[in-house]
Structure formats: C-alpha cells, structure tokens
C-alpha cells in the first residue's frame, strides 16, 4: 500500500456529509478523497466541489473501474448495499458499508461470504460503539472498575424529528429495530458479550410511519448477564436527549451510568466518580449531532488504521452479522411473543 489511501465515497446524501468531512479531516492520517459518486449528479458534483475530489461519478462501476481506489465507503441506504458491496468485492476494493448492513440476514450473509471468498476487507460502519461515552465505559470495564458486568439497560428514547433529515424512514416496514436497534443491540454485545436468547415487544405510536417506532427488548447473554435494550422515536421528554444513548451497567464490584448531557457516573467499590464524556464539537460538526459526528470520524479513523496495518476492523461484516441476527431475532420474538434462541 502507498502512503496515501485513495478513498472513494458512494452516496452523497444526508449522512454521507459526515463521512465526507471525516475523511477530509483524516488527510493527515493518509486518507484522500479522490472520487465521489451519487446517482443524483447534483449531489455528486456538490460533494466533489466541497471536498476537493478530483472526479465525480453517477455510476459506481465506472468509478471503481477507473479510480484504483484503496478504499470505498458506501453510504447509501440499505436496499443498495448488497449490489454495491458485491460490485466493490469484484473490483477487489477494500470496502466499508453503512449500517444496517442489508435489509435481510440472507443479503448480509451473501455479502459477507463474497468478501470472505475473495479475501477483501469488508467492514460495517457501526459507529455507536466508537462514541466517546461508549469508549470510556469500555475502557473502565476492561480495567476492572466494575468487576464482571451482570446487568445493563441500554436506552435510546427521543421525540426529535428524525424524519426531517431522513424522510425515507417513514416508509420502512421494519423500522426502529433495524434502523436504531442495530446500534443499541450492538452496544449490548459490546458490553455484555454474545447473546443466548432475546425477547421483544414492539409498538407503533406514530400513525404517519409504516413500521414499529418503539421496541423493548430483553436479552440473556451467554455469560449469564441480562440486558434491557429499548428504543423509541416517540418519547416526550424535555430536554430531549437526542441523539444520546443512555446506559446503566451493573457489575460485581460497581456500576456505570451514562446520563443525559454526556456525563458518566462510575461507582467502583464505595467510591463514586463523575466523568465528563462530552466530546469536542469538531470544527465541521454541530449540536445536537456532535456525539454521533465525532463517532463517525473515530470509526473512519479506526477503519483506516486497521486497513493500512493489514488488520481486520473491529466491526467486520462477520462481526456485524451477529448484531444483524439479533435484529432479525427481535422481529421474530416480537411476532411470536416469546424468547428466540440465537444460533451459535
Ligand atoms: P440518503 O437517502 O439521504 O442518501 C443516500 C444517497 O445515496 C442518495 O443521495 C442517493 O441518491 C444515493 N444513491 C442511492 N443509490 C445509489 C447508487 N446505486 N449509487 C450511488 N448513489 C446512490 O440516506 P442517508 O440518510 O444518508 O442514509 C444513508 C445510510 O446511512 C443508511 O444506511 C442509513 O441507515 C445510514 N445512517 C447511519 C447513521 C449512523 O449514525 N450510523 C445515521 C443516519 C443514517
Ligand atoms: O438513523 C439513525 C441512526 O442510525 O442513528 C441516528 C439516526 O440517524 C436517527 O435516529
């Protein structure tokens, strides 16, 4: 690999703006956006102009064929992920794809198998575990501050108008478990490990959206730990914590709480310590999104470093299959009103 990683971005819509800023900021770490692509030429052209990409495309195949990319970052919606990942794999281009990895587990498995068979780097941009508060909690747990985690609550509850930026979410028939559950179920795996079984109840509060907008899930982990993972886009609390994930983790020697306002409270033995886990507002970021935006940059930085070092990323497609399998199992559990065992 040369000193510079030639990055191409596919999809220049709402969330891709964060990726484009992140890759630009990682120039010093060896990333250079050389080309961008969107089927909408106005968006591709605007992204190329704002982020100094020398070429813009409306055809991903043409971009991959012409640009000799060291990395392609796919930031389109999930329906397009499988075809784009398989295309990138055929071009043997290391690939990152946004969450949700795909609309179905069958697609996710096929994409992962294609990358494995070709020996191509494939990672999922699952960014919540890279948020500053989550990184701090992980560091404290790894250092033994709360002993062995035995119980957790992972909660994302908001009434923020997410549809203004992401109007397509109104049309998703399988909605919050795939859109947001993908993040919070991933955090449950990160903090408490592999899952043995899952139960779920869903609710649909907003008549203007097709799918479920609220989910309450309970997980029994292989370690014996239990977690409650809940998310809603229809909660009425002020001040609204969007887009913060609030967490409580209890262990054999203490507890961690991540509270609204990005404040972490650590109980370790008989000492309680408050830790500020509010990340800096990056120069291109803005509130209330800054904690997510900072995690996008941290995720891109991690993936770039892993790729350049010849290592897999933490959130390989194979790893993410387990998170996606939890989403699928949660839908099955909600439909049947019973626990669903996870394949192991
Ligand atoms: P969007 O609709 O605003 O943008 C998608 C863009 O992809 C559009 O501009 C569209 O024209 C383009 N596109 C579609 N098919 C294409 C193709 N074949 N080739 C090239 N371009 C194509 O959607 P969005 O809100 O930016 O969401 C994109 C992804 O980001 C989704 O998977 C979403 O779940 C994810 N997302 C992640 C987070 C997070 O925190 N990780 C937050 C928001 C959205
Ligand atoms: O779509 C969601 C996601 O992935 O993270 C936050 C979000 O944009 C809205 O809740």
Any atom of ligand 1 within 6 Å of the Cβ of 36: no
Q: Is the pTM of this model over 0.95?
A: yes
pLDDT-above-70 percentage for the chain = 99
Task: Locate 135 and state its tokens.
Answer: 């990184």
Tens digit of each residue's pLDDT (9 = 90 or more) over 114-169: 999 999 999 999 999 999 999 999 999 999 999 999 999 999 999 999 999 999 99
Ligand nearest to the CA of 180: 2
Q: How would you class 259 by CB atoms within 10 Å of its CB: exposed for 0-12, middle for 13-18, buried for 19 or more? A: middle
CA distance 72 to 70: 7
pLDDT mean over 214-231: 98
The pLDDT value given to residue 2: 56
Ligand nearest to the CA of 18: 1
CA distance 86 to 49: 28
- Strand 226-232 to 214-221 pairing: antiparallel
Tens digit of each residue's pLDDT (9 = 90 or more) over 325-340: 999 999 999 999 999 9
Tell me if 136 sits within 8 A of 277, measured CB to CB: yes
Q: Around Cβ 295, how many Cβ atoms within 10 Å?
A: 26
Any atom of ligand 2 within 6 Å of the Cβ of 243: yes
**32 CA from centroid of ligand 1 (Å):** 21
């Amino acid at each position: 690999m040369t000193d510079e990683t030639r990055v191409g971005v596919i999809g220049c819509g709402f969330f891709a703006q964060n990726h484009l800023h992140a890759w630009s900021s990682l120039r010093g770490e060896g990333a250079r956006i050389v080309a961008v692509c969107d089927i909408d030429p106005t968006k591709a052209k605007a992204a190329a102009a704002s982020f100094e990409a020398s070429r813009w495309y409306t055809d991903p195949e043409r971009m991959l064929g012409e640009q000799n990319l060291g990395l392609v970052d796919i930031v389109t919606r999930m329906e397009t992920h499988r075809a784009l990942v398989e295309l990138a794999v055929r071009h043997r281009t290391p690939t990152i794809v946004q969450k949700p990895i795909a609309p179905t587990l069958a697609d996710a498995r096929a994409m992962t198998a294609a990358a494995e068979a070709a020996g191509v780097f494939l990672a999922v941009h699952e960014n919540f575990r890279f948020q500053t508060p989550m990184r701090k909690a992980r560091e404290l747990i790894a250092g033994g501050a709360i002993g062995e985690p035995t119980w957790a609550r992972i909660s994302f509850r908001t009434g923020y108008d997410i549809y203004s930026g992401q109007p397509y979410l109104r049309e998703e028939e399988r909605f919050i478990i795939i859109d947001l559950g993908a993040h919070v179920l991933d955090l449950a795996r990160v903090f408490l490990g592999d899952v043995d079984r899952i139960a779920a109840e869903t609710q649909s509060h907003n008549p203007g959206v097709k799918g479920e907008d609220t989910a309450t899930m309970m997980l029994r982990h292989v370690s014996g730990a239990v977690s409650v993972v809940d998310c809603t886009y229809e909660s009425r609390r002020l001040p609204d914590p969007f887009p913060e994930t609030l967490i409580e983790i209890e262990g054999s020697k203490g507890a961690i709480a991540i509270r609204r306002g990005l404040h972490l409270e650590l109980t370790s033995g008989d000492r309680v310590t408050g830790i500020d886990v509010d990340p800096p507002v990056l120069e291109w970021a803005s509130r209330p999104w800054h904690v997510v935006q900072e995690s996008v940059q941290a995720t891109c930085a991690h993936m770039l470093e892993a790729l350049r070092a010849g290592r897999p990323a933490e959130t390989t497609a194979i790893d993410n299959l387990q998170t996606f399998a939890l989403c699928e199992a949660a839908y099955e559990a909600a439909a049947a009103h019973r626990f669903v065992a996870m394949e192991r």
